A and B are shown apart, each in its own frame.
Chain A
Amino acid sequence: MAQEILKSLKAALWFMFLTFPIMVIKVNTVYKTIEWRWMNMIFIGVGIFVGSFIWRWLLNRKDRPVAKKDFVPVSTRVQAYLAENPMAKRALQGVLLAALLCFPIFMDAYQINIFTVALMYIVLGLGLNIVVGLAGLLDLGYVAFYAVGAYTYALLNTTFGLSFWLVLPIGGALAAIFGILLGFPVLRLRGDYLAIVTLGFGEIIRLVLENWNDFSHGPSGIAGIDKPDFFGLELNLNQMTDAIYYMMVAFTIITIFFVGRLQNSRIGRAWLALREDEIACQAMGVGRTRTKLMAFALGATWAGLMGVVFAAKTTFINPASFTFLESAIILSIVVLGGMGSIPGVILGALIMILLPEYMRSFSEYRMIVFGGAMVLMMVFRPQGLVSNFRRKYSFHGVDERLGG
């Protein structure tokens, strides 16, 4: 115990030293005055002293389950249970769907709007999950495809008056084409080289949108984009919010269904194989080029579709909505939730979008908590909230034949 206290004491002293210039001293360079905020140092000292106990306790706890062989995480057990009991699964799906559908009746426009945004990020997360989670290609410029979709609708709508439903497939297709365009040159690149090139690609798209005034109206953006049209109905603001919400619910369900099917399809397995071992995979006769390009194109399609929805929902877009931070947030959704896992991505999106939104009353402390939470999440649960449940295939035939 004494040792533990000594450790915490050391940590506290270290952090008091570390935060000294930035937390304690505040200089006013104009009036040449120094403000010494010693109270901050005391807070840090006490905070770290206590925090370091919790830190070590949590770290120990995290390491322990590894020792236990039979330990199965709750999420995996739940997933396994549901896989074996289709009835329970159906019931759960029904309840969830009912909850989602009833949601707008109880909530006001503000809550519905936030949930619509969260649903959009679920779809974006699922799209990126194809590229990162399934195919194992680290994409830091995913937001570029989102921008392609958004600008497709904004431009086609404001210049040619095309309707939302018409542009939706165009936006998706255009994003897919951009996905393939990006995919081609970077096929040979591995891991982090791929990451930086995709990051560069994302920045290039944003910069072009920012600078090419004649095409994209530059940084002042495009205003007055039409909201989606629902069977020609005249909707007021609240009804429109509800309608977009229901549209997003439908979208999310379709995406979940599609990605779920994709995962277990031939191409889905090819992605997993490619992710695990590229060379062995090629030796087995999986075409690398085609498989990778498919991942890029399909991932980009979802982003493009969401881009169209985004432009229609906000009715105004400018390049400031498509920065690197946006890519980082979508990537965090995938990793935080658990790569390759659909429930994980959903959970990740809800946390990443709803948490900062409901923390708005903290306003200035919001981002620091957000950043800190990301670090802590990763340290204590690096595999994500929901670890990927792998379907097991067991072959019973052999034993029987041998026995008989």
Chain B
Amino acid sequence: MDYFLELFLGGLTRGSIYALIALGYTMVYGIVQLINFAHGEIYMIGAFTALIIASVLTILGLNSIAILVIATAAAIVYSSAYGYTVEKIAYKPLRNAPRLSPLISAIGMSIFLQNYVLLAQTSDFLPFPRLIPEFAFMEPVSHIFSSAELVIVSTTMIVMVLLTLFIKFTNIGKAMRATAQDKTMALLIGIDVDRVISVTFIIGSSLAALGGVLIANHIGQINFYIGFIAGIKAFTAAVLGGIGSIPGAVLGALILGWTESFATGYVSSDYEDVFAFALLVLILIFRPAGLLGKAETKKV
């Protein structure tokens, strides 16, 4: 039973990590119907920014809480800035292009950003400073659930709730939903679609940055390549849950996390990714629009 609980908690953490990245994918997809392959790199840049800023501040001798706050804030600011810029450069000129062109542009952007960080920084793994302190009250259970894991899981939950409220009740949130439904119609009723798209990229990127900081802190090391694998998994999670749906992304991510964790624990980690993708295929066969996705009825 303990073993089951441990695997359950491990899967929960892993799923929460995927969720933070998957939210960005799903939001962008919902608005512009684009698989933003560079999203994983935005997450990587967030982690790198946090690492650099935190290291500089450590050398300058600030206290750890201040470092945590400033480094996270910097990561969010810079990731959003990158997300915004990437959209303006690589996607906006392609609004009316054939459907596959932005996808290729996104793959190109992903390769570009990876190598940009590789050249400007290093190809080696860098140790990530431990920013999140160990909480005293977690001490008795820390061997099965650490403080960092608690922070990851709770952050994801809070973010998901806030994001849902944001999209439901704020003006810009409503504009986002309108744009997602029908871009032309949204334009006609006076919504600044370009601005909505920018905001979407900024929010998605800041969530990725948050994910980047939390995961880097949890794993303790980063390099220029971490975005790619995390990105693919998060995208799988988003599709699993029904791309375009925010609770769907979180649900999909958690299911993916648990699948991998239990597959490793009870079967074999050799085939952990095989299980993940096989599950995706299975679910899509029975629900072609994902778990919480709206089944599209195409009108003729």
* A adjacent to B, CB under 8 Å: yes
From B51, B100, B239, B284, A132 is in contact (CB under 8 Å) with B100
Whether the Cβ atoms of B52 and A372 lie closer than 8 Å is: no
Q: Which residues of B contact A185 (CB under 8 A)?
A: 281, 284-285
Whether the Cβ atoms of B274 and A375 lie closer than 8 Å is: no
Q: Which residues of B contact A328 (CB under 8 A)?
A: 107
Q: Which residues of B contact A382 (CB under 8 A)?
A: 94, 97-98, 101
Report the separation of the CA atoms of residues A138 and B245 in the bound assembly, to the nearest whole angstrom: 22
Report the separation of the CA atoms of residues A70 and B49 in the bound assembly, to the nearest whole angstrom: 50
Whether the Cβ atoms of A14 and B85 lie closer than 8 Å is: yes
Report the separation of the CA atoms of residues A365 and B277 in the bound assembly, to the nearest whole angstrom: 34
- With A138-B100, A211-B270 as contacts: A25 and B52 at CB distance below 8 Å: yes
Q: Which residues of B contact A19 (CB under 8 A)?
A: 120
- With A21-B52, A27-B56, A279-B298 as contacts: A192 and B277 at CB distance below 8 Å: no
Interface window among A250-258, A311-319, A332-340, A392-400: A332-340
- Closest partner residue, chain A, to B85 (CB atom): A18
- With A21-B74, A383-B97 as contacts: A192 and B300 at CB distance below 8 Å: no
Whether the Cβ atoms of B111 and A196 lie closer than 8 Å is: no
Q: Which residues of B contact A138 (CB under 8 A)?
A: 100, 103
- Closest partner residue, chain A, to B48 (CB atom): A22
Whether the Cβ atoms of A367 and B111 lie closer than 8 Å is: yes
- With A59-B93, A375-B112 as contacts: A195 and B284 at CB distance below 8 Å: no
Q: Does B235 contact A (CB under 8 A)?
A: yes
Whether the Cβ atoms of A368 and B119 lie closer than 8 Å is: yes
Q: Which residues of B contact A190 (CB under 8 A)?
A: 288, 296
From A192, A208, A364, B119 is in contact (CB under 8 Å) with A364
B7 to chain A, nearest CB (A): 21
Q: Which residues of B contact A383 (CB under 8 A)?
A: 97-98, 101
Whether the Cβ atoms of B277 and A203 lie closer than 8 Å is: yes
Q: Does A262 contact B (CB under 8 A)?
A: no
Whether the Cβ atoms of A196 and B33 lie closer than 8 Å is: no
Report the separation of the CA atoms of residues A207 and B232 in the bound assembly, to the nearest whole angstrom: 15
What does DSSP make chain A's interface, helix, strand, loop or mixed? helix
Whether the Cβ atoms of A34 and B284 lie closer than 8 Å is: no
Residues 251-299 (chain B) with a chain A CB within 8 angstroms = 270-271, 273-274, 276-278, 280-281, 284-285, 288-290, 296, 298
Q: Does B23 contact A (CB under 8 A)?
A: no
Q: Which residues of B contact A189 (CB under 8 A)?
A: 284, 288
Report the separation of the CA atoms of residues A196 and B276 in the bound assembly, to the nearest whole angstrom: 12
Q: Which residues of A contact B120 (CB under 8 A)?
A: 19, 22-23, 40
Residues 54-98 (chain B) with a chain A CB within 8 angstroms = 55-56, 58-59, 74, 78, 81-82, 85, 89-90, 93-94, 97-98
Report the separation of the CA atoms of residues A336 and B198 in the bound assembly, to the nearest whole angstrom: 26
From B33, B100, B235, A339 is in contact (CB under 8 Å) with B100
Whether the Cβ atoms of B48 and A193 lie closer than 8 Å is: no
Whether the Cβ atoms of B274 and A208 lie closer than 8 Å is: yes
Q: Which residues of B contact A371 (CB under 8 A)?
A: 108-115
Report the separation of the CA atoms of residues A375 and B119 in the bound assembly, to the nearest whole angstrom: 19
- Closest partner residue, chain A, to B96 (CB atom): A382
Q: Using a CB–CB distance below 8 Å, which chain B residues touch chain A? A: 29, 33, 35, 45, 48-49, 51-53, 55-56, 58-59, 74, 78, 81-82, 85, 89-90, 93-94, 97-105, 107-117, 119-121, 126-127, 129, 232, 235-236, 239, 243, 270-271, 273-274, 276-278, 280-281, 284-285, 288-290, 296, 298, 300
Sampled A-B contacts (6; CB under 8 Å) = A18-B81, A19-B120, A189-B288, A335-B100, A375-B108, A378-B102
